[in-house]
Amino acid sequence: MTRAKPLPAEQRREALVQATIPLLLEHGLDVSTRQIAEAAGVAEGTIFRAFGSKDDLVHAAVTDALTRDGLGEALATLPPDADLDATVTAIAAALTAGITRMRTLVGLFHHHNWHAPNGDHTPGEHPHPPHPAPAPNADTAGPLRCPRPNPRSIHERIATDVASALRPHAARLRATPQEAASVIIALTFGAQHPIAGHPSFSSPEALADLALHGLLKEA
């Protein structure tokens, strides 16, 4: 296997995080450090020099994936001349993909024992007992402490991204872009609910049609 060129410690950790995220979505917590090393093009020992343990790398990867503005990045690719229907369809598609991704990653938080012995942890602190620090020549001085993602902050960012995408079409909307964003987000999350959702509204096109035209038949 071709090894990656040496990188500064922060870049190496970032590269490992980005290599780990798709593997977590595919394999969950069963992903091995060997798989991660192969995906990143590094020796397996590099993981432990950079993060100290697989747990620390997984926690950093989940945190990064949940806090990164993937929706904003997806909507930024919309053509500047996209009409309202195309814009809302793209929003629904990006939200649907993000919901699936988010549920998988949040599930990793709930199913992994990232808790202190008494069941609690200090907000902003790494929620599992620390591992021994790496060797003195390691890339990092000890386990990374990543804050648990804040659901309210994530939702506010999503609402801001959707409203921004709708703003060029504000003149055609009955509601403000912020209000319309709330409706589209609620419809998409509801349609993807494992119990309350309905397959008739599982596609982005159907969700966009529902958001823009409602449930009434055309006269």
Q: CA 145 to CA 124: how far, in whole Å? A: 8
> Would you call 104 helix, strand, or coil by DSSP?
helix
Task: Give me the CATH topology for the region 9-213.
Answer: Tetracycline Repressor; domain 2 (1.10.357)
Q: What mean pLDDT, rounded, does the chain reach?
A: 82
Burial of 204 (0-12, 13-18, 19+ CB in 10 A): buried
Q: Are 17 and 64 in contact (CB under 8 A)?
A: yes
Q: What is the pLDDT of residues 77-86, one digit of tens each?
A: 999 899 999 9
Phi, psi of 22 (to 5 degrees): -65, -30
- Residue-wise pLDDT for 137-146, tens only, equals 444 434 455 5
CA max distance for the chain: 75
pTM: 0.71
C-alpha 38/C-alpha 190 separation (Å) is: 38
Contact 89, 208 (CB under 8 A): yes
Which pLDDT band, with edges at 50, 70 and 90, does 8 fall under?
A: confident
Query: Mind listing the pLDDT tens digit for each residue in 150-178?
Result: 788 888 999 999 999 999 999 999 999 99
